Amino acid sequence: MFLKGKSAVVTGSTSGIGLAIARALAGEGANVMLNGFGEAAAIERARTEIAAASGAEALYDPADMTRPEQIAGMIARAHDAWGGPDIVVNNAGIQFVSGIADFPPEKWDAIIVINLTSAFHVMRAAVPYMRAKGWGRIVSTASAHSLVASPNKSAYVAAKHGLVGLSKAVALETATDGITVNCISPGYVWTPLVESQIPDTMKARGLTREQVMNDLLLAAQPTKEFVTPEQVAAFALFLCRDEAKAITGANLSADGGWTAA
């Protein structure tokens, strides 16, 4: 357990990619702070399962990613509990699909705040603790849409491009502090977020569910397979190893070949 004695905060970790990453980190001994929305009983079940399976401590913080003071409070709570956080994973995200002419401004604002601005607040709060310890890992879940665009996703594409730029800047600022800052950019991962955007895409493009899945989503991935949350989690776990300390400021693809073309 190479993360024994370390602690992690994973935003958007009550389901999907974030939950898989939290489980992977705990499996290597890290104490983990879960965060996100969902049914209280399901969140508590996930928390207790992680703790029981790993022997690590698992806490839950309901910090709203649109509220900077709550984000700072969550990071401070992790520090009070464990002396960390040594690792933060920016994974919180939402999506909305619409052409630019009909894109609701409030949806733009929400996507930018949750997918991009929240990561700034997490990093701002966590970096001083990491600097004090001389070790830290910041991993952000970006997307193939941080590298290429798709129609009807202007806010999401802008936010993910911005997340990569933010990560590169912070990587340079912390390069001599024992801290690495990287993005993982998956292709389509079968998660509640991807599943939830299918009806909007069906409506926007006049397609059936099967057409959206096979002709749009998987059409972009030469492997013709969805990436799994566990594959992304394994990637994040590797970035936390000492063997990965030379990797910083990188945007690493796990997209089934989507961005190879």
What whole-number distance in Å separates Cα of residue 71 and Cα of residue 123?
10
Q: Are 155 and 108 in contact (CB under 8 A)?
A: yes
**Cα distance between residue 208 and residue 197, in whole Å:** 13
Residue 250, SS3?
Answer: coil
CA dist list (Å): 146 to 14, 161, 176, 261: 23, 4, 26, 15
Residue 156 annotated among the catalytic residues of the structure: yes
| Residues 58, 42, 109, 99, CA torsion sign | positive
Q: CA dihedral in degrees (21, 181, 37, 159; nearest 10)?
A: -120
Cis preceding linkage at 85, omega within 30 = yes
- Backbone φ and ψ of 33, nearest 5°: -100, 115
Please identify which of the residues 60, 129, 156, 188 carries the catalytic annotation.
156
How far apart are alpha carbons 232 and 166 in whole angstroms? 20
Residue 141 sits at φ, ψ, to 5 deg, of -80, 105
- Residues forming the active site: 156
